[in-house]
Amino acid sequence: GPPGGAVAFPGPTLIARSGRPTTVNWLNHLPRHHLLPVDPTLHQAFSHSTHTIARDGVPAVVHLHGGHTDADSDGHPDAWYTARGVTGPRFSGSRYSYANSQEAATLWYHDHTLGLTRLNVYAGLAGFYLLRDRRERELITCHRLPDPRYERELVIQDRMFHPDGRLAYPDAPAASPAWPGGPSIRPEFFGQVLLVNGRAWPCAAVEPRQYRLRLLNGSNSRFYRLSLDGGRPVPVTLIGTDDGFLHRPLPLTEPLVLAPGERADLVADFRGCAGATFDLGNDAPTPFPDGTPVLPPADKVLRFQVTRPYDARVPEPRLPAALRPGPFRVPRPVTRTRRLLLFEGQDAYGRPKPLLGTVERGTSAWDAPVTETPRPHTAEIWEFFNTTSDTHPIHLHLVSFQVLGRAAFTADQDPAGGALSNIRTEPPEPPDGTETGPKDTVQAPPGRVTRVKAFFDRCGTYVWHCHMLEHEDHEMMRNFQVR
Ligand code: C2O
Ligand code: CU
Ligand code: CU
């Protein structure tokens, strides 16, 4: 919140216009103790501890997720700073500029501090950043999309609470003979209370008309498989993905899977439903896709009650046949294909820990030399070979990518570092219809290679990582350098 002003959870929604740069001075007023238990992590580069926080203050740095941002303003994990002026090795000031040189999109901002992101975001350091453009404006004024008065941005986050209502994040398990290192990492966090915009299982009163819903999975680790149900189906149409519109509106016939970091731009049609109640429900197992089936109450997200009187002065939109001139493509020729690895490695005590690396060399630690170095103004294909047993949402900073598709594969794997040889891939599967718009986070399922194509338009050091924040904080993150 503003200094001395109201504090909001989540943070306020910022609205920007495409083509008009924005400057934000992000001031850190966090105290010298964290709201949540800070366990020292296993890697010494991730060095924030209760002790350093009590001395220096809680570090924070803001990243605009989905933004095509200069490296100085991107919120690199090492660019953190505290209220007491202590700064990380890549700090370059707190005044960030956002070029907004991209199309209308549902972006979001959140903390990205090295080794503390899961706790800072959990405590509330996240909010929406809506980018609007001319094409969207025209679609709205010709009544092809709902009027902004009937637009709702909804961030879904799972949490746990102490009996007195304070936010709870489980303490790290204590030292034991099996885990001699003492406080340990928590491999994932799954809370039983689902919050939408900071409120538990809220009820939204709506008119019997079409609403535009921008959903964001802002959870630490939980995936959602969402459907809207109330005895009879409400037509729901997908109109956009992470970073912009789909070519054509896509009526959803299956539940929508949203991984941490992903967004979905939807139109829900409550026409003719006056008096009815609809629940947005979740049935995604944790971890995804083969984990424990969802337990109540985490199967309930949000209730819509169609109880508001219809305001006939606002025209009902008619969705267009096309929302953009053609399908989203990265049009440039590919200069290089990189084969990247998701591998269940081990921490210093032999416990499983998913990590990133390259297919040829195996996994690399966070501070090992950079291996991904695209040239400026070139397009590359990145292939993510997932040899772990879970789906990981892989996010790249700087770019909006095109999802090319997936293929099942088998390979021989070096048990130590995970390097692959004798890779045999099955015929490629095209992307799902829900992934055909511009994306910045992609679900990489186990046993498959997931392929994306991106254009790298700015120089500098950025990161790519798993967006399950417990994984990101424990080294499922690597730098890449455009140079
Ligand atoms: Cu939304 Cu690097 O993160
Ligand atoms: Cu990002
Ligand atoms: Cu992960």
| Domain final residue pick, 106, 132, 158 | 132
Are 167 and 284 contained in the same domain? yes
CATH number of the domain encompassing residue 261: 2.60.40.420
pLDDT tens digits, 16-37: 999 999 999 999 999 999 999 8
| One domain for residues 343 and 458 | yes
Query: Could you read off the pLDDT of 420-458 as tens digits, one per residue?
Result: 999 999 999 999 999 999 999 999 999 999 999 999 999
Type and span of the H or E element at 157: strand 151-161
Whether 161 and 111 share a structural domain: no
Under the banding of pLDDT at 50, 70 and 90, the label for residue 50 is confident
pLDDT exceeding 90 applies to what percent of the chain? Answer: 86
Q: Can you tell me the ipTM of this complex?
A: 0.98
Q: Which atom of ligand 1 has the smallest separation from the CA of 110?
A: 1
Q: How far is the CA of 143 from the centre of ligand 1 (A)?
A: 34
Per-residue pLDDT, 183: 45
Query: 153 CB contacts (<8 Å, ≥6 apart)?
Result: 13, 106, 128, 130, 197, 214, 216
Q: Write down how long the chain is.
A: 483
| Single-letter residue type at 339 | R
Ligand 1 within 6 A of 263 CB? Answer: no
* C-beta of residue 270 within 8 angstroms of C-beta of residue 479: no
Any atom of ligand 1 within 6 Å of the Cβ of 76: no
471 C-beta closer than 6 A to ligand 1: no
Distance 467 CA to ligand 3 centre (A): 6
Q: What is the pLDDT of residue 182?
A: 44
Sign of dihedral through CA atoms 461, 467, 473, 476? negative
- Do 107 and 248 reside in the same domain of the chain? no
CA 79 – CA 247 distance, rounded (Å): 37
Establish if 310 belongs to a structural domain. Answer: no
Q: Which ligand is nearest to the CA of 445?
A: 3
| Overall number of domains in the chain | 3
**DSSP calls for 330-369:** --SPEEEEEEEEEEEEE-TTS-EEEEEEETTTEE--TTSP
Residue 465: CB within 6 Å of ligand 1? Answer: yes
Structure-token pair, residue 125:
């350091």
Average pLDDT over residues 39-57: 76
* 152 and 300 inside one domain: yes
Residue 427 token pair: 């015929």
In a domain, residue 319? The reply is: no
Does one domain contain both 288 and 338? no
Residues 41, 84, single domain; the answer is: yes
Average pLDDT over residues 38-60: 79
Residues with CB under 5 A from ligand 2 (ion): 65, 397
Mean pLDDT of 221-234: 91
Q: Is 118 in the pocket of ligand 1 (CB under 6 A)?
A: no
Amino acid identity for residue 265 in this structure: D
CB of 448 closer than 6 angstroms to any ligand 1 atom: no
Report d(CA 86, CA 259) in Å as an integer.
Answer: 34
Does residue 471 belong to any structural domain of this protein?
A: yes
Last residue in a domain, options 305, 321, 356: 305
Mean of pLDDT values over 33-53: 76
CA 151 – CA 134 distance, rounded (Å):
17
pLDDT score recorded for residue 45: 61
Q: In the prediction, which pLDDT does 458 show?
A: 97
Comparing C-alpha atoms, which of 308, 305, 309 is closest to residue 203? 305
How far does Cα 337 stand from its chain's mean position?
24
367, 247: one domain: no
- Distance (Å) from CA 313 to ligand 2 centroid: 40
Residue 383 lies in a domain: yes
Asked whether residue 360 falls in the same domain as residue 475, the answer is: yes
In degrees rounded to 5, what are phi and psi of residue 265?
A: -105, 120
Dump pLDDT digits (tens) for 331-386.
889 999 999 999 998 876 777 788 999 999 999 999 999 999 999 999 999 999 99
Which of 132, 158, 184 finishes a domain?
132
Output the pLDDT for position 48: 83
Write down the pLDDT at residue 350. Answer: 72
Mean confidence (pLDDT) of the chain: 93
User: 158 vs 40, which has greater pLDDT?
Assistant: 158
Ligand 1 binding pocket includes 397 (Cβ within 6 Å) = yes
Q: For the chain, report the end-to-end CA distance as a whole number of angstroms.
A: 36
243 and 358 together in one domain: no
Which residue range forms the structural domain that includes residue 298?
A: 148-305
Is 80 contained in some domain? yes
Does the beta carbon of 110 lie inside 6 Å of ligand 1? yes
Query: In what side-by-side order are the strands of the sheet with 224-229?
Result: 203-205, 300-305, 277-282, 224-229, 256-258
Task: Among the bound ligands, name the one nearest to the CA of residue 389.
Answer: 3
Task: Report which bound ligand comes closest to the CA of 117.
Answer: 1
Q: Is residue 403 part of a domain?
A: yes
Task: Give the pLDDT of residue 354.
Answer: 87
**Ligand 1 atom nearest residue 66's Cα:** 1
At residue 231 the predicted structure's pLDDT band, cuts being 50, 70 and 90, is: confident
Q: Whose CA is nearest to atom 2 of ligand 1?
A: 397
Q: What is the pTM of this model?
A: 0.96
Whether 186 is in the pocket of ligand 1, judged by its Cβ within 6 Å, is no
CA 375 to centroid of ligand 2, rounded, Å: 20
Q: Please, which pLDDT band fits residue 126 given cuts at 50, 70 and 90?
A: very high
Whole-angstrom CA distances from 95 to 3, 98, 199 are 16, 10, 31
323 domain residue, yes or no:
no
Condensed to tens digits (0 to 9), the pLDDT of residues 135-172 reads 999 999 999 999 999 999 999 999 999 999 999 998 76
Distance 262 CA to ligand 1 centre (A): 10
Cis peptide before 352 (omega within 30 of 0): no
In a domain, 469, yes or no: yes
What is the average per-residue pLDDT within 200-204?
A: 95
Instruction: Take atom 1 of ligand 1 and give the residue whose Cα is closest.
Output: 65
Statement to judge: residues 254 and 365 lie in one domain? no
**Are 162 and 284 in the same domain?**
yes
Q: List, in order, residues 6 or more apart from 401 with CB less than 8 Å away.
A: 330, 382, 438, 439, 440, 442, 452, 453, 454
